[in-house]
Structure 1
Amino acid sequence: MLYQQEQRYAYYDKDLDIEAYRLSGIVQKFPNHFHDYYVVGFIEGGRRHLRCRGKEYQLSGGDLVLFNPKDSHQCAPVNGETLEYRALNITEKRMRQAAADITGRDFVPHFGENTVPRCDITAQIGTLYRAIVEEWPKMEKEELFYLLIEQLLAEFAQYREDRVPAGPSEVIRTLCQYIEDNYSQAITLDELADLSDLSKSYLVRSFTRQVGVSPHRYLQSVRIQKAKKMLEQGASPIEAAGQAGFSDQSHFTNSFKGFIGLTPKQYQNIFSKDDRTGGQ
């Protein structure tokens, strides 16, 4: 029996300031985590079981996937089927800028649904992905990008003003901020319990219920996001691991690949002038 080789590609487009991402032949299970950017992607082939924001989904070819920043999610293969997947990673700043250009309003878009079965918009995502990979003219890429975002906003986005409180309670938000401010340190559950005046067991239950991931998983996700920024700015994987709070290089590499799907070096390569692909 022949097995398809795993292929993992990522491209950074300077004109659009977004990442194009592809996974092919992947069986890997991705643990519960979140990103600090939007993900607009689709399933090309294979079936996946997705859990996002407490809901369960069965994904297959042609299904649209939409993640807001901080949407906790995890996925696994169904019956060992390989995954064919393409996506665009868009920072909150870039999405907000595009939304303002399109609507004339300054707001943070929020997608109410994380999946849309058999969605026609996936063809537009595939075309923009191709335009980025093949380095089409800037004007053509921008047109494709704005047309895609305009349709996503019209069909799936909710308007969420910054001043409107949403999500976790003030206590849990304080703990999240503490983790984000001290991610490079060896944070303990005792520290978080003292800070919140909650018992450790209640803290873990409440945090996980409101945020979607446990305090430890939140810390891991923050560390990965910080390490990504360091790698983008030219830090070596060893430097990024140490500064992000990982105890050793092996743990960092395994965690990074588990969350992102690429090794730290593969991810860094997409920002290199000489190598735009994340490699295989």
Structure 2
Amino acid sequence: MKPLLNVHFWRDEDLPGLEVAEVRESAHVFPNHSHDHYAIAVMDKGASFCAGNGRDGTCVTSGQVALINPGQVHAGMPAYDGCISYRMLYVDPVWMRRVARDLCGRDGAAPEFPHWVAPDPALHAMLHRLCLLVANGAEGLEKDSAMVGAFSRMLAVWGNVRGAAVSRKGHEHRAVRLVKEYLRARLAEKVSLDELAAHAGLSRFYLLRVFKGETGLSPHAFHTQMRIDCAKGLLLSGASISDAALDAGFSDQSHFTNAFRRFVGATPGQYLAS
């Protein structure tokens, strides 16, 4: 058996229900085994043969996602000669059940995926982005929002978890206003999706949907935009780039410069020089 090479793990304190692994160019063969958590494979290169207990073998190929339930016996190996690259998300069943409750509006049994493989490019892209955010140490609100969004799609499309009928009808505008005010008052603070949902009186899933529907932005993107606007005012009033970054809530000057360039189209120095 060849060893598993080029593997990295991330455990993020902002996402205690999730562990992420990245495996590059591996020929490792996994024997029959199972997990007490959900195992989600995001295939980047090649194809893996997933043999199951009492199931016909199935291949998950590049651009697809493998969905493995807790306790489900499976094995894994490259389907063809050569190596494969993929990312794994190991998800706590309690957290998965909570997302399902947010999505359908009621508590119930832990969700179960009836199919091994999800040929879903949109889901693949969302999970791939989530893995990158975790690996790069992105802000908590951005990671949590990406996780809720990706897993909501996964459960709705592939886990037979149906979304609830719209609740609190007529209160959406008030909820969005409350979230905007909450974010504006906390430019220099870390804000979680749980905080925002509790403040708005909506589930995390429903809050993400109505906020983006009304503003065109996620709460994290909206918060970042407000921080950039604040930093622009500080720079024009004579603050140094490092002070503007800190006072506007950015963790460091590099993070500030990258975000400023993304939203303004220029670096802070270029903005001041023009």
Matches within 5 A, 1:46-57: 46-53=46-53, 54-57=55-58
CA distance in 2, matches of 1:47, 1:81: 10
CA distance in 2, matches of 1:118, 1:110: 17
Distance 1:86 1:142, change over 3 A: same
Letter in 1 for 2:28: Q
Question: Post-superposition shift, 1:57?
Answer: 1.1
**Range 134-143 or range 102-111, more displaced:** 102-111
Residue of 117, 133, 150 corresponding to 1:131: 133
Letter in 2 for 1:47: A
Other structure's SS at 2:106 match? coil
Question: Post-superposition shift, 1:60?
Answer: 1.8
Unpaired runs of 5+ residues, structure 1, are 160-280
Query: Could you list the per-position Cα deviations for residues 104-131 of structure 1 after superposition, in whole angstroms to 9, with x for gaps in the alignment?
Result: 2212111111112353311101100011
CA distance in 2, matches of 1:70, 1:137: 32
Aligned to 1:147: 149
CA distance in 1, matches of 2:42, 2:112: 18
Question: Post-superposition shift, 1:59?
Answer: 2.5
Letter in 2 for 1:68: N
Other structure's SS at 2:115 match? coil
Letter in 1 for 2:74: H
Other structure's SS at 2:160 match? strand
CA distance in 2, matches of 1:47, 1:41: 11
Other structure's SS at 1:110 match? coil
Question: Post-superposition shift, 1:55?
Answer: 2.1
Query: Could you list the per-position Cα deviations for residues 8-38 of structure 1 after superposition, in whole angstroms to 9, with x for gaps in the alignment?
Result: 1110111111101111111010000000001
Distance 1:110 1:118, change over 3 A: closer
Would you say the 8 A contact 1:41–1:122 is kept in 2?
Answer: no
Would you say the 8 A contact 1:67–1:111 is kept in 2?
Answer: yes
Aligned to 2:9: 10
Question: Post-superposition shift, 1:133?
Answer: 0.8
Query: Could you list the per-position Cα deviations for residues 125-181 of structure 1 after superposition, in whole angstroms to 9, with x for gaps in the alignment?
Result: 11000111111111111110111111111101136xxxxxxxxxxxxxxxxxxxxxx
Would you say the 8 A contact 1:8–1:22 is kept in 2?
Answer: yes
Would you say the 8 A contact 1:47–1:81 is kept in 2?
Answer: no
Matches within 5 A, 1:74-153: 74-107=75-108, 108-117=110-119, 119-153=121-155
CA distance in 2, matches of 1:110, 1:38: 9
Query: Could you list the per-position Cα deviations for residues 187-210 of structure 1 after superposition, in whole angstroms to 9, with x for gaps in the alignment?
Result: xxxxxxxxxxxxxxxxxxxxxxxx
Q: What is the aligned length?
A: 155
Query: Could you list the per-position Cα deviations for residues 235-276 of structure 1 after superposition, in whole angstroms to 9, with x for gaps in the alignment?
Result: xxxxxxxxxxxxxxxxxxxxxxxxxxxxxxxxxxxxxxxxxx
Aligned to 2:19: 19
Other structure's SS at 2:112 match? strand
CA distance in 2, matches of 1:141, 1:110: 24
Distance 1:71 1:119, change over 3 A: farther
CA distance in 2, matches of 1:14, 1:130: 15
CA distance in 1, matches of 2:48, 2:131: 21
CA distance in 1, matches of 2:19, 2:72: 18
Would you say the 8 A contact 1:61–1:118 is kept in 2?
Answer: no
Letter in 2 for 1:80: D
CA distance in 2, matches of 1:99, 1:143: 15
RMSD of the alignment, in Å?
1.7
Other structure's SS at 2:142 match? helix
- Give every structure 1 segment of 4 or more consecutive aligned residues whose post-TM-superposition deviation is greater than 6 Å: none
Higher RCO (CA < 8 A, seq sep 6+): 1
Letter in 2 for 1:10: F
Query: Could you list the per-position Cα deviations for residues 40-90 of structure 1 after superposition, in whole angstroms to 9, with x for gaps in the alignment?
Result: 221100222111241211222111110110111011223331110112110
Aligned to 2:66: 65
Unpaired runs of 5+ residues, structure 2, are 162-274
In percent, how many aligned pairs have the same letter?
A: 24
CA distance in 2, matches of 1:96, 1:103: 11
Would you say the 8 A contact 1:42–1:62 is kept in 2?
Answer: yes
The alignment's TM-score, normalised by the length of structure 1, stands at 0.53
